[in-house]
Structures are given as C-alpha cells and as structure tokens.
Structure 1
Amino acid sequence: MRFNTEKPYNKLPEILPNEKYWHLLSIYEQANKANRALAELKGRLSAIPNPKIFINTLSLQEARNSSSIENIFTTNDKLFRAFTADSKADPHTKEVLRYGKALTDAFDIIKQNRKFSIKLIEKIYRNIKDKEDGIRDSLVYIGNGHKKTYTPPCCRNIIVKKLNNWISVANSKSDKIDPLIKMAILHYQFEAIHPFEDGNGRAGRVVNVLLLFAYGLLDDPVLYLSKYINEHKSEYYRLLLEVTKSENWEKWLLYMLRAVEETSKYTLKKVLNIMELFEETKEKMQKDAHEIYRFELLEILFSQVYCKYSILIESGIVSSRNTASKYLNKLEEIGILEREKIGKEFVFKNIALYELLKDG
C-alpha cells in the first residue's frame, strides 16, 4: 500500500497514468464494444425529430439511480409526481430532484463551450446539496464505521491544485487516448480528490455524463450510466480503492467500459420502447380524439409522465384553463391519461408511459 489510510493522501498522483496501464488488448477490445453501443444510441436519438422529449424522463432515471448508490431512495412514482405537482415531496425525493436539476443545468452550461472549470464543478455540488459552500477546507475520510479505508487530500489549496490538473486533462484534446478510457480515468481521479464534504459521488457521476457530451459521444443527458454502478455497487467501491492501493487500472477501466456498453444498450432499448409507444399513442389520438390532436400536445404527454392544466397553457397549446381541461379530460376518456389528485391539484398520468418507466 502506497498510502496511509489515516492521513490525507496529498501525494495522489496527477493524471494521466502511465500508458502501460491502459495500453492493453483487453481494455481496447472492451472500449470498442462500449464505443459501438454508445454510437448506436447516439445515432438512433439523432434520427428522432425531437429527442428532447426524452430528457426529463430519462435524466430523472439517471438521477434516481445515482442517488440510490448513496442510499438515497425514492420511487419513480414519487419522483414523477414531485417533478410535476406543487405538493410537498419527502426529503429523499427532493434530493433526487436536485440531482436532476444539477445534471440538466450543468449540461446547459457545458453545451456552450464544452469546457470544465472549478466554477462549474462547484455549481453541480451546490445544486445537488442545496448549499452555498464549495471546495472543502476540512478533513474527511471514507470508511465503514470506525475503520478508515481512505483519507482524501486536504485541504483547500491542495484540492484546488489537483482539481486544476483534473480540469486541464479533461479539457485537453488528444487522440492518444480513447475518450471513454479517459472518462473512466477522470472519474477515478475526481472521486480520489473528493473535493467536497459530501455529494462527491453524485457530482462525479454528473460529470461523467458531461464528459460524454464534451467528447462528442452523446448529444443529450439520457444515458443510465449509474444504473450499472448501482447494480454493481460493491465492485465499484472496491475497484476505486484498488486503483489507489495498487494501481490496478485494468479492472477499473474494464468495469467502467462495461458500464457504458451495457447501459447504452439498455437506454437504447428503453428509447425504442418509448418511441413505439409514442407512435401508438399518436394513432389512438388521431382516431379517437382527432378534434384535439396536435403533435405538440403529443410531445408534451411524453416529455414527462404527469401533465396538468398549467403545462398546456404555459406551452402555448391552449390559452385557457377551460380548453386545457377539455383536452386532458378527452385524453382521460379515451384511456391515454388517468386523473389523480396530488395535494389540492389534479394531475393526469400517461398510463402506458408510466408502466414503461416505473421500474427504471
């Protein structure tokens, strides 16, 4: 072991690691599989007229899975309801919603210039934790109970130096390393730096999605990358620590590349299922509710699981509550929507979309 678990690991090496750790046939073979799966997902999404309709529903799934890794649990139903309705949500659901906001806000920023900065990373953390502080200036440790397994670098000046190195590598343009391998290396380094008192894992997983966009691998934040990590959580933490202990990069990189491959395939299947349902709903509306059918209305029904009167009015589809009520009541009548009362307001659930997404 090259470090003392009881002391801040201020000698954490700067990145990138020596090429010998990732110039391996096993890694390149898995990287090719992951790149092909991700490219197919990106290609299918780009062929859809308005892929933005997926962002709310799919980014909320990433938010829920990433939060579950940190033992912050909510159900999809609670999440979808809280996203639409004005009623009070429980603390865990609120945390997941904040993660979703952190992801979409950061994605809007990174789209402007594809550049990372400490300011952006701190914004992600503040959105997740609903706090105003930033880079920590205090000691933290990772472990179970009284046993420390790792003490990250400390304090603020050292953390900032290491983050600046991270940012320099993240923003660099190089053909020498596959971008998915680079993303996996950067994720390890971010977690090892552990720049905040709390929320580092979630912030790091938001950054993963941003890196995929910055490197041209994905156009929208729809990949369920945290689903794989959540399902293989103990391996995730064990392999992170193995890199620190013994520079076991091969197993870590293979793990992350498999995560990209499997979640790309899973997300693609989910997208195709949603698109099939979209077309079925379109046909049903044109047949059974032709008098209110508008493509923009159909898009709204799929942009989030629950809809309400104000959403139709704010979108400009209708100009009054009476007309909004007429539209949603008709869709309820033909079996597309189901009315529910949340607090003091009525919302309308897209029944089939909910069934498709309820298990994540």
Structure 2
Amino acid sequence: MEIAVIPGEYQRSPEGHHVFVPNPLPPELDIEPRILGEIEEATHLLGQVEMCRTLLPNPNLLVYGSLRREALASSTIEGTIASPEELVLFQVARRSDREAVREVANYSVALEWGCDELGRLPISTRLILGLHERLLHGVRGSSAAGRFKDRQNYIGANQDTPIEEAVFVPPPAEEVVRLMTDLERYVNLGNAAPRLVRCALVHYQFETIHPFGDGNGRVGRLLIILHLMQLGLLSAPLIHPSVYFERTRQDYYQSLQAVRDKAGWNEWIEYFVIAIAQQSRETVQLAQALLNLQQTLRQDIADVRKRASTQAALEAFFDEPVLSISEVARRTGLSYGSAKGAVETLETRGIAREITGRKKGRAYACSPILNAIFPGAGEQR
C-alpha cells in the first residue's frame, strides 16, 4: 500500500510551537477520472453563468445579489451574523449600531475594490494586503489591517482553546513573506492543471499559510472570486461559493485539513468543484427567476395611470433594487416629481417599500427582487 506524503512538514517554531509549513505549489496530483468529469461539468456551468449575464436586460442585478450573498455567507462562517435587510439598510444609511453589520459590509466593499483593481494588476501581495485593509476597516482587528501577522496564530475549537489543543497551527510569522511570495508566483505563472484545480490549490495554500492575525478565512474566500476572474472563468463576481461552504461548514474544514493530514487532494478538489458547480446552478436559477419576476411585475402594473413612468421606475429597480427618488429620476430621465409619483404607485401595489423610516434621505427597496435574491430572508433575524 502506497503511503501518502503530506504536502509540507511539521516543524518546531522559534516560540516552541508545533507548526505546519506547506510545500510550494504545485503538488503532484493524480486526479481521479470521476473528479475530472466533475471539473468539466463545473466549468461548463460557469459558462452558463456568463451566458445568463448576457441574456439578462439588467445583468448588474446578478452582481448585486452575488456580492451581498457572498458577503453574508462568508462572514457567517466566521460567526459574524447579519441579516440581508441589515446589510441593505447599512449600505443606504452608512451607519449601524451592530459591528457585525459593518464587518459584512466591509466584505462587500473589499470584493468590489478587488474586482476593480484586478483590471489594473494581477493577484499579488499588494492586492491581498489591500483586501485585508478594507475588510478590517473600522472594525475589530483594524489596528492590524493591511499587515501580515507578527505573532503565532492558530485555529482552535473556540476562542478559549489554548494553542496546545489547536486543531491546526499554521506557519510562524517569520515564514509568511516567503510563503506568500511563492504563492503569488504560482498564481501568476502558467500551469498545466485545469483552472478550477489551480483555484482550489490556491485557496488551500492561502488558508494553510494563514498570513493574517484575523480575517484569513474571509480574505481567502474573496480570493476565490478574484482568481476565477483572473483565470477567465468569470467576468464579474457572479457566484457566491461561500453560501455552499457555510451550508457544509464541517465538510469545508475537514476537506482542507485532510490535505494537511493525509495529502487528501482529491477529497479537497472534489469538494471545491462541487461547491462551484452548485453555486453556478443557483446563479442560473436566480437569473431565470428574475426574468420571470420582471415579466410578472410588468403585468401587475399594466393597468396603472402613467404606465410609462411607472414601468421606467420598475426597470430602474431591476438594475439596482434599492434606490432613492433622486436615483430613480437620474436612472430613468424622469423629473423628480414624476419619479416620486411612479415610486408611490409601486409602493401602493406592494412592489416597493420605504426602508429607512426617515423623513429625509429616504430609500425604497423592491421587495420582490430582494426576496428573490435573498430566499428565506424573512426567516432570518
């Protein structure tokens, strides 16, 4: 029986801790034929996601939904829980009494920033540090935002677990720059492995290096989307893999750890590819649901007075589901008064609702659209 060689080695750190230092990528892989078939299917599904973006009249809505669902799910994995309504309201009002909401909003900001930056520079240490800086801006851990760790970190069963009982102890701080330089080189050099496999390897390696004092899981999951874009598999953040990771959290952690413990590359790659495939299917389903919803709502307002202005306002919500009256006017070319009347008509029909509770700076959400993007949101706190 062949003994698996783990992709790294356990060492004694300068502080005396038993740490795991990963080997540089790529490892030697022997991917099972069944998994190669799953990789092909997931790649095909990502192509369908891209097709949906071209077929939708307002493709920005898919990006809007995926950005926010990814932010909510990735943060939930780390125990930072906010509701979709809290996130949407914060992004309008720019304030919240709950730090958890600000942390989730930061994730969305970091992902949008990363997508913009990717047009100017490839995935690099500079970009990764920028993601971390935005992720921790103004919330717990902000004093170390944008800087690699300067002390030993570890993963325990809970916050009170001592390092001696840790589930996993990553490399010491002294090794981070070297390991991240190696990772950056792998990300940006040509490689014969399938693109989804390369993305899976990079996520594993980043989480194993664990280069930050806090925020490693969230930055690592941000990088999945950016890496898929850099590899040409996505043109925008159109899927939300963290939703699958959050649903199957124990499998996510166990599959990553299986690589460190027993060189379980097939186990991790298969899990990762299934996650991408499932979330691609969900995006395709959402695109179809939004197309159907748009037709239904158009029919619902077919009998209103000033139908043209009301329909124009409705179409504006299908580009951005939360808008002020001024924003509706700007997007539609209507006068402020006409936009206000159109939104009030939508409100009367139960299509739009005011969400701030304020007399000034009011904003309206298209409830049916948000319900489609955030299924089951009404059941969340």
Alignment TM-score > 0.5, same fold = yes
CA deviations 1:42-74 (Å, max 9, x no partner) are 222223343123222221011101111101111
Q: Identify the match of residue 61 of structure 2 among 53, 63, 67.
A: 53
1:223 maps to 239
Quote how far apart the aligned CAs of 1:271 are: 1.8
Conservation of the 8 A alpha-carbon contact between 1:8 and 1:153 = no
Rounded to whole Å, the distance in 1 between the matches of 2:359 and 2:170 is 47
**Worse-matched range after superposition: 267-276 or 83-92:** 83-92
1:99 and 2:107 are equivalent in the alignment: yes
Shift in CA distance, 314/128, structure 1 to aligned 2, threshold 3 Å: farther
> What residue in structure 1 maps to residue 170 of structure 2?
152
3-state DSSP of counterpart to 2:167: strand
Cα distance change of structure 1 residues 341 and 99 upon mapping to structure 2, 3 Å threshold: closer
Partner of 2:147: 134
**Is 1:161 matched with 2:182?**
no
- Are 2:128 and 1:117 equivalent residues in the alignment? no
What is the percent sequence identity of the aligned residues?
A: 23
Letter in 1 for 2:127: L
TM-score normalised to the size of structure 1? 0.90
Letter of the 1:163 partner, please give it: M
Answering whether residue 36 of structure 2 is matched by residue 28 of structure 1, we say yes
**Structure 2 CA distance for partners of 1:218 and 1:299, relative to 1, 3 Å:** farther
Cα-to-partner distance string for 1:199-256 (whole Å, 9 max, x where unaligned): 0100010100011111111111020211110011011111211211221111111100
Separation in 1, partners of 2:338, 2:112: 31
Q: 1:171 aligns with which of 188, 207, 219?
A: 188
What does residue 292 of structure 1 align with? 309
Answering whether residue 287 of structure 2 is matched by residue 271 of structure 1, we say yes
**Counterpart amino acid of residue 169 in structure 1:** Y
* Count of aligned pairs: 353
Q: Could you tell me whether the CA contact under 8 Å between 2:46 and 2:234 is conserved in 1?
A: yes
Q: Is the contact made by 2:298 and 2:311 (CA closer than 8 Å) also made in structure 1?
A: no
Cα separation, 2, equivalents of 1:344 and 1:230: 38
Q: Does 1:328 align with 2:350?
A: no
Among 221, 225, 228, which residue is 1:205 paired with?
221
Q: Which runs of 5+ in 1 are unaligned?
A: none
**How has the CA–CA distance of structure 1 residues 86 and 143 changed in structure 2, closer, same or farther, with 3 Å as cutoff?**
closer
Whole-angstrom distance in 2 between the partners of 1:343 and 1:8: 55
In the alignment, structure 1 residue 16 sits paired with structure 2 residue 62 = no
Give me the whole-angstrom Cα distance separating, in 2, the residues matched to 1:336 and 1:305. 11
Equivalent position SS for 2:363: strand
CA distance in 1, matches of 2:373, 2:276: 20
CA distance in 1, matches of 2:87, 2:363: 14
Aligned residue number for residue 78 of structure 2: 70
Between the aligned partners of 1:291 and 1:197, the Cα distance in structure 2 is 54
TM-score of the pair, normalised by structure 2: 0.85
Letter in 2 for 1:152: P
Corresponding position: 1:39 with 2:47: yes
1:126 partner amino acid? E
Cα deviation for residue 7 of structure 1 reads 2.8
Q: Is the 8 A contact 1:3 1:245 kept in 2?
A: no
Indicate if the aligned counterparts of 2:170 and 2:209 stay in contact, CA closer than 8 A: yes
After superposition, where does 1:277-316 map in structure 2 within 5 Å?
Answer: 277-285=293-301, 287-288=303-304, 289-293=306-310, 295=312, 297-313=313-329, 315=331
Letter in 1 for 2:211: P
Contact preservation (8 Å) 2:89, 2:355? no
The code of the aligned residue for 2:354 comes to: R
Within the candidate set 126, 135, 143, 2:156 is matched to: 143
Q: Deviations over 1:13-59 (max 9, x none)?
A: 00011133xx3213212211211222211222223343123222221
Distance 2:129 2:231 in 1: 21
Tell me how far apart the structure 2 counterparts of residues 217 and 286 of structure 1 sit (CA, whole Å): 40
91-100 or 34-43, larger mean C-alpha shift: 34-43
* Aligned-pair CA distance for 1:328: 1.6
Structure 2 equivalent of residue 238 of structure 1: 254
RMSD of equivalent CA atoms: 2.3
SS at match of 1:112: coil
Q: What does residue range 339-358 of structure 1 map to in structure 2 within 5 Å?
A: 339-345=354-360, 346-358=362-374
SS in 2 for 1:19: coil
User: Alignment partner of 1:119: what SS?
Assistant: helix
Following TM superposition, by how much is the alpha carbon of 1:286 offset from its aligned partner in structure 2, in angstroms?
A: 5.3
**Unaligned 5+ residue runs, structure 2?**
1-5
Residue type of the alignment partner of 1:138: R
TM-aligned CA distance change 1:98 to 1:299, over 3 Å: farther
> d(CA) in 2 for partners of 1:97 and 1:250?
34
Tell me the distance in 1 between the aligned counterparts of 2:67 and 2:296.
Answer: 23
